[in-house]
Amino acid sequence: MVKNCCEVCGKTTSLHVHHVDENPLNNSTSNLMTLCSQCHREAHSKHFSAPMVRITCRHCEKPAMKNSLCWTHNTRYQKYGDPLMTKKKIGSDWYLVREHGL
- pLDDT grade for 1, boundaries at 50, 70 and 90: low
Helix (H) or strand (E) segment spanning residue 71: helix 71-80
Domain residue ranges in the chain: 1-54, 55-102
- pLDDT grade for 92, boundaries at 50, 70 and 90: very high
CA angle 50, 64, 82 (to 5 degrees): 145
Q: Among candidates 71, 70, 68, 100, which has minimal Cα distance to 84?
A: 100
pTM for this structure?
A: 0.47
Strands (E), 1-102: 15-19, 32-36, 85-90, 93-98
